[in-house]
Amino acid sequence: MKKILIMVVCAALAGCCKLSCEKKVTKKDLEGEVKEAILLVAFGTSEKSAQVSFTNIARLAAKRFKGAEIQWAYTSHIIRKKLAKQGQIILSPVEAIDKLIAEGYNKLTIQSLHTIPGAEFDDLCKVAESYKDRVIISIGQPLVANYANLDRVVDLMLEQAPKERKADEAIIFMGHGTHHYANLIDVAFQALLNDKDKNSFIGTVEGNPTLDDIIKKCKANNIKKAYLIPFMSVAGDHAKNDMASDEDDSWKSILKKNGITAIPILKGTAENDKIVDVWLDNCAEALKGKSNH
């Protein structure tokens, strides 16, 4: 029953983008030489140490799609602005697409490096939609947008726990969460975790489940120690400050006040090659012009 519910949720979430992301290609688009490029689109980060996640994706994408033109863009306006002040110019999706078109690329595969298909991904789909009459354009799904990927990613996240972790110690993942209905994926994530490892939990910074939900479950399971791991592509501001810092309101501090010693592991999901493979598999599907939901 739980599995069916999760599948229904994922199907509903994927369905919305299916309408807007599958592009009709006109004959005119196919005339002449096809010049192809991949556009990798992340939320972005201004934390220097978190850049390691994107470096890893760039390395693995170059290896997987040998010889392909790969361009980057960040969806976060705030982060682009912050980086520009430091002299680092990162393009927005629109700017990157315009640049590729100006360079003569007429077949674009946009790969979302977001974790769930939330508001940022919706906006990206709208951008892609607005170019469909000018170029052949397809879009790859974020990390988790269907049941198969959810199941695969939950397993990979559990593998992130350190070897010394004992069964009565919890693994707590920090997801971002959102007001968007894609937040239901985080809830589905928790349902799968329950089945696979009863002392593993996911909470979110800006959605459900919450840290309070986790604390209740930890108390019920008599947990005294937990490993904190971000479920975000980068170990950036949220992971460093909201999760792992000594500030009063960090997850580490709140857990401590509740009798749970928390050990943060500051590693973004995109630092893990096997998790990056999930994004790149989604990209490979989009390159084939296939929608993978």
- To the query of whether residue 179 is one of the catalytic residues in this protein, the response is no
Cβ contacts of residue 155 below 8 Å, gap of 6+? 196
281: tokens are 């598999």
Question: Three-class SS string for 17-32?
Answer: HHHHHCCCCCHHHHCC
* CA Rg value for the chain: 20
Distance separating alpha carbons of residues 260 and 47, to the nearest angstrom: 28
Partnered with residue 81 across adjacent β-strands are none
- The angle subtended at Cα 145 by Cα 98 and Cα 201, nearest 5°, is 125
44 torsion bin: left (phi>0), alpha (psi -120 to 50), beta (else): left
Note whether 242 and 255 are within 8 A (CB). Answer: no
- Out of 114, 176, 238, 293, pick the active-site residue: 176
Note whether 119 and 181 are within 8 A (CB). Answer: no
Note whether 186 and 202 are within 8 A (CB). Answer: yes
Sign of CA dihedral 57, 83, 67, 288: positive
Nearest 10 degrees: Cα torsion 239, 245, 249, 253:
110
Kindly list the catalytic residues: 176
